[in-house]
Amino acid sequence: GPWRWIWSKLYHEPLLKLACKSVGSGLLLYEDMPKIFGNIEITLGNNVSLSGRQVWIGAGSVAVRKHLCISDDSYLGHGTELICGTRIDIGRHVLIANRVVLNGYDGHPIDPIARARGDSPGPDGEGPIRVCDYAWIGSDAAILKNVTIGRGAIVAAGAIVTEDVPELSVVAGVPARLVKRLPVPAGW
């Protein structure tokens, strides 16, 4: 109701602004402030909308500062998790649906003995993620490290993306595969 909106404007939005390097005008939090953890620098553009409730933003390892940039007019849905391996860049007019995971950090090494010791995955276990302008990521999708989602591309609900997605294409499945090329819009 109206009290949630007032509480968000007077409490959660100012707190989020304090946690960010910079925040453009028109920030919209639909509910609570996202959970932010780790050594991460956050930049938000103009008119960024965050569902807020149960959104997680974090750094994979804390040794080196990670970077998250969400550009103008982009939206992150409820339950979204952004785990920065090195950096995550989200372009303009990007729609990210509910429960999407962008994970640029493996969390554990591949070697079972190193994993049992609690070692970090090392430099090969982290990488950047880039979601280009006008992309749409469907609910429950996962985007892994070293992946670029091309301009205007669509990732189907539930897809797990392990490779780059070309501009104006649709990918689906586990692992995600090209299922359709989209027509070039007027003025593209």
Q: Which residues of 74-93 are buried (b: 16+ CB within 10 A; e: fewer)?
A: bbbbbbbbbbbbbbbbbbbb
Which residues touch 92 (CB under 8 Å, ≥6 apart)?
A: 45, 71, 72, 73, 74, 133, 134
Catalytic residue check, 108: yes
| Cα first-last separation, the chain | 40
Using DSSP's 3-state secondary structure scheme, residue 17 falls into: helix
Marked catalytic residue, from 67, 78, 93, 108: 108
Active site residues: 108
